[in-house]
Amino acid sequence: MRYFPLLILSALCSLQINAQSQKFGLQDFYTYNSELEYTVDSIYHTLSERQQVAQMIISSAGELGKPMTTVKKLTESDAIGGVVFLKGSKKTHTESINTLNEISSKNKTLPLLFSMDAEPSLFASRIKGAKDVGKTIDIKTEAQSDAVVNTINTELREIGVHHNYAPVLDISASNEAIKSRSYGSNKDSVISLANQFIKCTQEGGIIATAKHFPGHGLVKGDTHKQSVYIDGPLQEVANYKQIIEDGVLSIMIAHITIQNNEKYGTDGLPSSCSRKIITGLLKEEMGFKGVIISDALNIMKAVTILDNAPLLASKAGCDLILMPQNEQTTINAILAEMKTNPAYKKQVTQSVKKVLRLKVCGGVI
């Protein structure tokens, strides 16, 4: 296990940094700051190549995730950069996060980025016993949205969660996978309410995530169960333009395959594994500079049918690899590709530094 210089270690020892003592905030992520650049670079260079790649890996915990014994071992071996918490109680989530923080502190390794799918419609199931904030589809005003976000943010901060995989930008409440998780079928209303959710979430110190790019609302089927297709034009991509301009920090990529589209067809791959969609469209055309996260890679049939989907997602441009079936295998695959592909190695460096920057600005380190 590598140890950190005193300059960096002093930051790592304080796992729970409050807003008053934290030097950088989420508002600094997109702003050039020489001190922030130096901090990120300094942390990056204390890590071995394997530890660097591990920062991109998000494992899972909770009743629907991996057993805590497994997650503890992954943390002890410095094989993950974060954990998403699935179904569980506030007590069990808090105890798990405290345990993992203690392991990171004891081993003098980077603290983990803790995440949750705390959309309004999923919130009560993610934190059993938490206040039911209702369904996303029932949120009609910005004031109502702010009240919901404040409740969610308060619960997440108390548990120790930094990153919320919300809101959904998908149009329509009729899709099998989205249903009441959508703000509805009015495009302007969806964009306005989602943007307010993001603004209020991030002003409250929690990282927001717009999803599911390039659009999961106007399709048939559920990517949890099968391959799902956008047949023709990308009708929901424009939803993200204002969201990106206004500073959303992360975007999640759907496992949606695109066909009958000359420019954006994904050649049979899901968007989460398509460089054309992630790097070409989202990064280069739309100018998104934030953190890109894949949708879950462990159980969703649209990607589990692929060989080495986590590596494909990383090569396509994802900075965070969510819930790969095997974390160590994923790290090994990325390291092997880096040895023979200099351009990809440079891309991984950029991804890792983005993740570290998010951790610094989010008060994780």
Token pair, residue 75, equals 């943390």
Cα–Cα distance measured from residue 201 to residue 149, given in angstroms and rounded to the nearest whole number: 6
- Asked if residue 289 lies in contact with residue 250, where contact means CB atoms within 8 angstroms, the answer is no
**Cα–Cα dist 227/215, whole Å:** 14
What are all long-range contacts of 129-135, with beta carbons under 8 Å and residues at least 24 apart?
129/89, 129/90, 130/90, 130/155, 131/155, 135/180, 135/181
224 is a catalytic site residue: yes
Catalytic residue among 78, 170, 295, 319: 295
Active-site option among 224, 246, 267, 307: 224
Tokens (6 digits) for 310: 């986590």
**Torsion angle (degrees, nearest 10) of CA 222, 228, 234, 235:** -30
Specify whether the backbone of 293 is left (phi greater than 0), alpha (psi in -120 to 50) or beta.
beta
The answer to whether residue 138 is catalytic is: no
Q: Using the structure block, give the residue that is written with the tokens 């014994």.
A: 69
Residue found under tokens 């790019």: 213
Long-range contacts, stretch 311-316, CB < 8 angstroms, 24+ apart: 311/337, 312/269, 312/273, 313/253, 313/272, 313/273, 314/56, 314/348, 314/351, 315/275, 315/344, 315/347, 316/272, 316/273, 316/274, 316/275, 316/277, 316/278, 316/279
Tell me whether residue 130 is exposed, middle or buried, using C-beta atoms within 10 angstroms of its C-beta: 0 to 12, 13 to 18, 19 or more.
buried
* Alpha carbon distance 205, 81 (integer Å): 19
For the chain, helix, strand, coil in percent to 5 are 45, 10, 40
Active site residues: 224, 295
